[in-house]
A and B are shown apart, each in its own frame.
Chain A
Amino acid sequence: MLFLRSRRAVLLLLALLGAGVVGRIWGAHGYRVGQQVPTILPWSMFLPLCCAYAIGVSAASPLPDGELLGRRCIRGYVRGYLVVATVLAVVAIAWAMSRTPPPISAPAALRDLAGMLGLSLVSIAVAGASSGWVLPGGLMFCAIILRMGDVDFLPVTWLVRDDSDTVSRIIAAGLFVAGGVATHWWPRHGQLT
């Protein structure tokens, strides 16, 4: 219970619930990107990024030095917490985007959630919770602006590809695994909070 309180689990739960409701209401609305091949990108494509970073920030220790020096190793608790939070986020996003029409809908959002969560965990492990947003956030912003300019640069634009794109799924899965590995170094001594 103390662990859940230290991670502000209730706030995270409310945030995921809020993301689900907002996505459910606004999921079908979008904005037009691209000149030569115009696509409607749903506003709810920001939800996977927000949920993923919220999970990462919530799981990161507010007192890394204290937990590092503690008698009990809490790495297992952190991983369990991440698994439960991820399952809840998957449910929230799948529900939120169930009414969003293809080509960019729930499967793409879940793929992005996996990739963004992995990237967020790596980024937080390196730069800390309040500074780690630059990498996942920057990747999402760049993906959207490149899509606006009809540029398809796979390492970036996999985030805004269609539901059925296999290469994007592989990239997202790779990032997800990398994020899981990165939690091995949580909490890290001297980690910025």
Chain B
Amino acid sequence: MNAFVVQLRRGPGLWITPAMVLAGAALALSQLQALTVWSESSSAAANSPYVMGAFVAGGGSWLSVQARRRGTLQVDQLSARGPAAAAAVDMGALAVWALVAYGLVAAIVLVPTAFRATWGGPAWLWLAESGVGLVAFVPLGWGLGRLAPSRFTPFAVAVLAFATAVFWDSSPRTYWWWHRLFPALQWIQRPFDEPRALPLVGQILWYLGIGAAVLAIVAVTGRDSARRTRALAAVACLLVAGGAGIAASTESGHVVFAELGVHREMVCAGDEPVVCVHPAYRDTLPQVQERFTPIVQRLAGTPFAVHRAVQQPREDLAYLTPGATGFGLDWATSTYVDIAAEDLVRNALYGTAACDLSSADLSIGLDPYRVVEVWAFGEGQVLDPHAKQALTWLSGLDGPGARTWLTSHAGQIRACTLAYSDFS
């Protein structure tokens, strides 16, 4: 135990930890718009190894580089506890500091959430999986440092770890099972979804297997033929194969690491319309109601009237429940309430029609059918002369006039075939 305590004090973990905490907290807090929803806070905390992993890999590399450069490898070979003992102590001490840093980042995010959240709880298994993934960077960095013992190696390993995470994360095959075997990736979970336990357990076994495999390789290359070495090698093989196998076997190829759309119980308020949100967003309900009311009033008495507005997962917006108009609400803040209002308008007007809504810039080349969208939303300026003229004309109509026009052109609006000549 003494060697472990010494390494805790003298190893790189102590001076890397503040940097890890700062970077991890910066990432977690930059991903959160509000500390009010458990699943989002859990996501942010669990994503922090995305950047912390680079520091841990660099620190692990520093450990093995120092041993090679100082010429102290023979001490490891002469150790009565076997050649892997020193490496295990080095890596263990750094792993403890990495977990301390991860725990602090998680506390920074989760403790305020505990006081503000209205529904659910932290995703403990997912948080644990990310923590073990962070620790997996220790043997990876350590191994690379042993292979290339240079003063530049710790830096190179840290940059490589971070660049690989960014590359891996930005590649299009994010949801394939082998993609999740990289120890640090970003993933935002919504309160509608439930993380699946089996793939997470598979990942944990895989990460533990990486550490055991590196130690087994050190022991074998150190010509340690003791029974413990054979046992360690066997455990490493089992963990690596078992972990990858479980992660791969949960679904063929295209794995979903969360059950989507599991939690659909809603909290509703209001009369006309009834506005329903997920209980995790309960505090936002008055704000959503207030923002939706003028939109609903403009569309009342037309084929686009909204009687029941229901928050739905974004990927399910096309599958609306009968009689309800869906909207997506990503975060419990005023900016995202505006985005939710845009969603409501689009779903009310177009339903499941495949209109081209990709043009975010309403000032250039605005399609005529989108003028109605701008009018219903009640805000926003259009600079396109035709669109401006059409919007002015539509806004100039009184309530009954607008209702009559909308009713008579409902088919064209739904089919996205409205023309500027129709605004007269």
Contacts and interface: CB of A to CB of B under 8 A. Distances in A.
Interface of A: 31-32, 43, 46, 49-50, 53-54, 57, 60, 62, 127, 129-131, 133-135, 137-138, 140-142, 144-146, 148-151, 156, 193
A57 to B, nearest CB: 5
B152 A57 contact: yes
Contact of A50 (B51, B159, B167): B159
Interface in B40-79: 50-51, 54-55, 58, 62, 65-66, 69
B65 A130 contact: yes
Contacts of B19: 134-135, 138
B159 A49 contact: yes
A131 B55 CA distance: 11
A134 B14 CA distance: 12
B contact residues, range: 20 to 34
A156 B65 CA distance: 29
Contacts of A149: 27, 30-31
A131, A141, A148, A193 pick with most chain B CB within 10 angstroms: A141
Contact of A131 (B15, B30, B54): B15
Interface string B142-166: 0000000001111110110011001
A71 to B, nearest CB: 26
A133 B58 contact: yes
A122 to B, nearest CB: 15
A60 B363 CA distance: 56
A57 B154 CA distance: 11
7 contacts: A46-B163, A54-B152, A131-B15, A134-B19, A141-B162, A145-B23, A193-B151
Q: Is the interface of A mostly helix, strand, loop or mixed?
A: helix
Nearest to B70: A193
B149 to A, nearest CB: 10
B22 interface: yes
Contacts of B65: 130
A31 B15 contact: no
B133 interface: no
A43, A127, A149, A151 pick with most chain B CB within 10 angstroms: A149
A113 B357 CA distance: 41
Nearest to B48: A145
A57 B153 CA distance: 10
Given A131-B62, A138-B55, A57 B166 contact: no
A151 B31 CA distance: 9
B163 A134 contact: no
